[in-house]
Amino acid sequence: MILDKFKNLSNNSNLLILFFILCTFAIFISPAFLDFNNIQNIIRTVMVLGIIAFGMTMVMIVGEIDLSVGSIAAFSCAFGGLFVDSGSSFTVIFLTLLAGVLCGFLNGLGVTLIKVPSLIMTLGTMAIIRNAGYIMTNGQASYPTKLEIYMMTAKGYLGIVPVPVIIFVILSIICAILTRYSTVGKSLYVVGSNPIASILSGISNNISKIIAFTVCGLCCSIAGLIQSARLGQIDPHMGIGWELTVIAIAVLGGASLYGGKGSIEGTIIATLIIGVINNLLNLLGMSNHSQEVVIALIIIGMVLLHNFGKKDKTIK
């Protein structure tokens, strides 16, 4: 146990060190980095993707991947958005989350029952779900500005703490407990580490995978909700390209594309690091395009590091 914890900690503490180095560097480059508004800006921007990264981490722990996260966020919000005229925040929020859960569940079913590899399944649903959103809304945005509670999810404060930060923290605690202390979480790791041994021990790989995808769908809809409230509009075009950053966060946080690895703690720190990197690149005046290049390089670099660390160098 002590060894396990230490190993985990050393991994995450490396990330923390990286985080502080980046912050120091950022302060050095531009004193504006420490500006309260700037910090708030970082947190607000990256929190949304961080929430999805919780779900992605679980999907990656079972050894799968979800490319449809941006589409699920857009679709579920658009679905909830159909009901803005009801004037009830509760209805809209509930339907948004329900749509997210169902989309994730659909991915899970496809990967397990029809046995479509998740890369292909979610590539397909990425297009299907997004375009279903366009068809459903005729590509029109809806405006939730009159829904007080809905808007609170992004704009509200509890004392001096912004509500989205509170949502992020609560979700991170729930997800951390789920992965670390629940039996479901335990089986996620088992399924990802050795699917054959897990089936032969009577564990249902399918149920674990469906749970991971469903939680991921839920996280997408929560993130979409916050983003919509933040912008004051529910736009079915939201979230294009999110999967890139989300996967970068999960991988940087220690999740492995080969399954069985990853932790919510790592993902939290990785979220902050990606936030700082994005902000740093902004402060340096780099374009959005170069920022995406950097994020993509992080994914490739992390996989490279992972392969270096492998003892077994069998040719595949």
Residues that bind another protein (CB under 8 A): 1-4, 181-187, 189-190, 193-194, 196-204, 260
Residue 244, classified by CB atoms within 10 Å of its CB into exposed (0-12), middle (13-18) or buried (19+), is middle
**CB-wise, 152 or 203, nearer to another protein?**
203
Count of CB atoms within 10 A of residue 134's CB?
A: 15
199 vs 240 by CB, closer to another protein = 199
Q: What is the DSSP letter of 156?
A: -
Task: Sort 56 into a burial class: Cβ within 10 Å, 0-12 / 13-18 / 19+.
Answer: buried
Q: Which is nearer to another protein, 150 or 189 (CB)?
A: 189
Least distance between another protein and beta carbon 207 (Å): 10
User: How many C-beta neighbours within 10 Å does residue 304 have?
Assistant: 11
* 3-class secondary-structure state, position 147: coil
- SS3 at position 158: strand
| Shortest Cβ 75–another protein spacing (Å) | 29
CB of 118 to another protein, least distance (A): 21
The two structure tokens encoding residue 238: 């939201």
Angle of the 288-309 helix axis to the 242-252 helix axis, nearest 10: 30
Q: Is 82 or 207 the residue whose CB approaches another protein more closely? A: 207
Ordered DSSP codes for 59-104: HHHTT---S-HHHHHHHHHHHHHTTGGG--HHHHHHHHHHHHHHHH
**Please, which residue, 4 or 37, has the CB nearer to another protein?**
4
Give me the least distance between CB of 53 and another protein, in Å please. Answer: 23
Distance between CA atoms of 34 and 224, rounded to whole angstroms? Answer: 28
Residues belonging to the chain: 316
Closest distance to another protein from the beta carbon of 22 (Å): 30
Q: Are 41 and 279 in contact (CB under 8 A)?
A: yes
The radius of gyration of the chain's CA atoms, rounded to the nearest angstrom, is 19
What's the closest the beta carbon of residue 181 comes to another protein, in angstroms? 6
Question: Rounded to the nearest whole angstrom, what is the least distance from the CB of residue 248 to another protein in the complex?
Answer: 24
Nearer to another protein, 138 or 183 (CB): 183
Residue closer to another protein (CB basis): 160 or 315: 315
